């Protein structure tokens, strides 16, 4: 997908400048040329690592911000949702809905078999940055980093829960497409095992979510205590490779034709419920989310009918695209015999 091309280019550049991989490396030869090449590779890695630490998205992802007219907040602080930061060091609590998303990126350990640690750092930072930026442009709040994965909140005060859910699903779907397709192509070129992601998403209603400070002093974060926060992390463990699993609350809030029960998978018949409490007659269902079908249904996503790939539809394409084939007749009439 073109919107992640800048991130893919950074990963390819990191691999090209790796001394451990099978790339041609002048440092294997004696003389000044080898030393100069090593220095150039080190400078390239430093530049790439510096780019992964920039707050603003790389140019390709910025396109979706511009095309959709989004206004993301890039000035976030980890673990401090702005709507609840006033709870820090107070001992107070609040109840408010939230969507919790847990992204787990798997397979990055295999990269150490092929690349230097510096190269792996650039690769994993770039992948994580792509995830962070994708969530941020759809109004997600980065709560916590887990290795090269992360935990994210969507929604807040004055935000419609259903709209926040759609933004959450869109961010998860776009990032899953990047990992499953763009990253796979990069590592396929290298002949190594690919990286994949697993994502869990759940929605906690206001009455079920407690906001408060966890920890003490500066060793703390503003976080939620909720069954549905915990279930998001648990659901990702039930997701397939590059899959997304959502809770019943999400399905009820945003009824889409893209859900199927996890238990409908062969061998997973016992996994209908992610959580049960028989004493309260509470049985909570988890669902696979068909994120590719969802992406193809969005009006700003274009599908290549031949390759089956998807991409961002430019607004200029929508303006210039003829809505009715009859509109072409006046033009085609000047190019006979093509008009039938």
User: Residue 155's Cα: distance from chain center in Å?
Assistant: 16
Using one digit for the tens of pLDDT, what is the confidence trace for 278-305? Answer: 999 999 999 999 999 999 999 999 988 7
Domain ranges of the chain: 2-298
Per-residue pLDDT of the chain (340 residues; tens, 9 = 90+): 788 999 999 999 999 888 887 554 434 434 444 445 667 777 777 777 777 677 888 888 888 998 888 989 888 999 999 999 999 999 999 999 999 999 999 988 889 988 999 999 999 999 999 999 999 999 999 999 988 889 999 999 999 999 999 999 999 999 999 999 999 989 888 877 778 999 999 999 999 999 999 999 889 999 999 999 999 999 999 999 999 999 999 999 999 999 999 999 988 888 899 999 999 999 999 999 999 999 999 999 998 877 778 888 876 544 444 444 444 344 344 444 434 4
Distances (CA, A) of 209 to 144, 212, 227, 246, 327: 18, 10, 8, 17, 54
For residue 264, give both structure tokens. 């409908």
* 2-298: CATH, from 3.30.70.1230, 3.40.50.300, 3.30.420.40, 2.60.40.420: 3.30.70.1230
Distances (CA, A) of 222 to 92, 143, 272, 312: 11, 8, 32, 35
β-partners of residue 121 are none
With beta carbons less than 8 A apart as the criterion, state whether 175 and 130 touch: yes
pLDDT of residue 37: 66
β-partners of residue 100 are 153, 202
pLDDT of residue 335: 41
pLDDT of residue 314: 72
pLDDT of residue 42: 72
d(CA 43, CA 20): 16
Please identify which residue in the block is written with the tokens 């673990």: 79
d(CA 70, CA 62): 10
Using one digit for the tens of pLDDT, what is the confidence trace for 177-224? Answer: 999 999 998 988 887 777 899 999 999 999 999 999 999 988 999 999
Burial class (CB in 10 A: 0-12, 13-18, 19+), 335: exposed
């Amino acid at each position: 997908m073109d919107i992640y091309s800048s991130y893919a280019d950074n990963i390819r550049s990191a691999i090209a400048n790796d001394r451990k991989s099978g790339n041609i490396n002048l440092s294997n030869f004696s003389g000044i040329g080898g030393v100069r090449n090593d220095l150039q590779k080190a400078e390239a890695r430093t530049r790439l690592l510096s780019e992964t630490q920039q707050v603003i998205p790389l140019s390709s992802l910025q396109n979706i911000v511009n095309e959709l007219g989004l206004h993301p907040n890039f000035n976030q602080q980890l673990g401090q949702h702005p709507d609840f930061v006033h709870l820090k060091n107070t001992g107070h609590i609040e109840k408010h809905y939230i969507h919790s998303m847990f992204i787990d990126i798997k397979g990055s350990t295999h990269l150490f078999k092929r690349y230097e640690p510096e190269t792996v750092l650039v690769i994993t930072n770039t992948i994580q940055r792509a995830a962070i930026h994708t969530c941020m442009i759809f109004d997600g709040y980065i709560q916590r980093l887990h290795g090269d994965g992360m935990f994210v909140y969507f929604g807040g005060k004055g935000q419609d829960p259903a709209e926040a859910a759609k933004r959450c699903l869109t961010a998860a779907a776009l990032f899953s497409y990047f990992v499953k397709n763009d990253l796979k192509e990069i590592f396929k070129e290298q002949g190594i095992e690919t990286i994949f992601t697993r994502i869990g998403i759940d929605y906690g209603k206001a009455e079920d979510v407690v906001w408060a400070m966890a920890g003490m002093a500066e060793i703390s974060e503003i976080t939620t205590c909720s069954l549905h926060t915990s279930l998001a992390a648990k659901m990702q463990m039930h997701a397939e490779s590059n899959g997304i699993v959502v809770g019943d609350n999400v399905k009820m809030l945003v009824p889409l034709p893209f859900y199927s029960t996890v238990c409908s998978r062969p061998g997973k018949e016992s996994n209908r419920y992610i959580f049960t409490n028989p004493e309260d007659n509470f049985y909570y269902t988890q669902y696979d989310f068909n994120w590719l079908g969802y992406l193809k249904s969005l009006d700003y996503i274009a599908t290549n009918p031949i390759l089956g790939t998807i991409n961002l539809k430019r607004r200029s394409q929508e303006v210039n695209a003829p809505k009715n084939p009859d509109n072409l007749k006046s033009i085609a009439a000047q190019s006979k015999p093509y008009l039938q």
